[in-house]
């Protein structure tokens, strides 16, 4: 198993740290409070955040890839960082469709990582994501798109609590009955417990599309934050002593637990 040395970042913001790493052509994983950004040769190749549905959820719940096909690709390609390649090679999904879904997940997670642009904590040189190469994006394009999305959401409804807090309905049966279909489906998932990420996962939708609908519902007075948002966990911590190859055994256990439900 590959061991990688941690580098503690000195930049004040995640975007500044990413810019410096891009200029260096760095490869590795930059982690902070809201997620992890994976780089290859100075370009973003994957982003993870606990605030968004991951690629597995998007592919399997939308029906694009059957669950057994996903886990087969993890079993066969995870240890070699080639899960994406296995999905395509095994005929589970076309290369173009995987790329579109991957980019959607990347930009969704990047929005949460960069929305408040807090300081990134650590960089793990040489760390590689288990998905493997699908499509890389320039750092400046990721930062620019994240800011564009943030500005649009703020124009719809300025309170970012909607993005991360458990959400509750504001009773208004007459107005709810007049909603467009997608917004109505989103509202139906609001139960006082689920967050935007939970709702997106339940619908098998990208997080950003769900956020747009939820902020519109908030602007219409139909949805409100049930409590103030709790800090978002970054997910897997690349600062651990064991790093490099994914724990495919753990992934299989998670699969078995899900199938047992």
Question: Using one digit for the tens of pLDDT, what is the confidence trace for 211-258?
Answer: 999 999 999 999 999 865 555 555 555 444 333 444 445 455 555 555
Task: Name which of 48-52, 191-195, 244-248 the model is least confident about.
Answer: 244-248
DSSP string across 26-61: --EEEE-SS-EEEEETTEEEEEE-TTS--HHHHHHH
Q: What is the pLDDT of residues 158-186, one digit of tens each?
A: 999 999 999 999 987 677 778 999 999 99
Query: Structure tokens of 6?
Result: 């941690």
What pTM does this model have? 0.80
Q: How far is CA 25 from CA 20, 22, 42, 45, in A?
A: 9, 5, 4, 13
Q: What is the pLDDT of residues 57-103, one digit of tens each?
A: 999 988 889 999 999 999 989 888 999 999 998 898 999 999 999 99
The pLDDT of residue 2: 47
86 near 76, Cβ under 8 Å? yes
153 near 217, Cβ under 8 Å? no
């Amino acid at each position: 198993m590959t061991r990688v040395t941690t580098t503690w970042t000195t930049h004040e913001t995640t975007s500044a740290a990413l810019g410096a790493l891009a200029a260096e052509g760095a490869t590795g994983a930059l982690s902070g409070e809201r997620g992890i950004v994976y780089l290859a040769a100075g370009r973003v190749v994957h982003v993870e955040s606990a605030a968004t549905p991951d690629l597995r959820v998007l592919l399997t719940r939308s029906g694009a890839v059957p669950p057994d096909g996903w886990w087969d690709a993890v079993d066969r390609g995870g240890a070699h960082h080639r899960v994406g390649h296995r999905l395509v090679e095994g005929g589970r999904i076309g290369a173009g469709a995987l790329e579109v879904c991957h980019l959607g997940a990347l930009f969704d997670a990047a929005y949460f990582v960069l929305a408040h642009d807090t300081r990134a904590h650590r960089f793990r040189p040489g760390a590689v994501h288990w998905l493997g190469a699908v499509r890389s994006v320039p750092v400046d394009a990721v930062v620019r798109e994240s800011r564009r999305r943030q500005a649009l959401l703020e124009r719809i409804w300025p309170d970012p609590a909607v993005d991360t807090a458990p959400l509750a309905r504001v009773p208004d049966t007459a107005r709810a009955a007049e909603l467009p279909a997608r917004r109505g489906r989103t509202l139906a998932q609001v139960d006082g417990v689920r967050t935007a990420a939970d709702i997106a996962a339940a619908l098998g939708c990208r997080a950003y599309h769900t956020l747009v609908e939820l902020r519109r519902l908030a602007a219409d007075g139909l949805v409100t934050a049930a409590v103030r948002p709790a800090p978002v966990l970054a997910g897997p911590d690349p600062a651990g002593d064991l790093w490099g190859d994914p724990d495919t055994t753990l992934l299989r256990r998670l699969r078995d637990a899900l199938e047992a439900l």
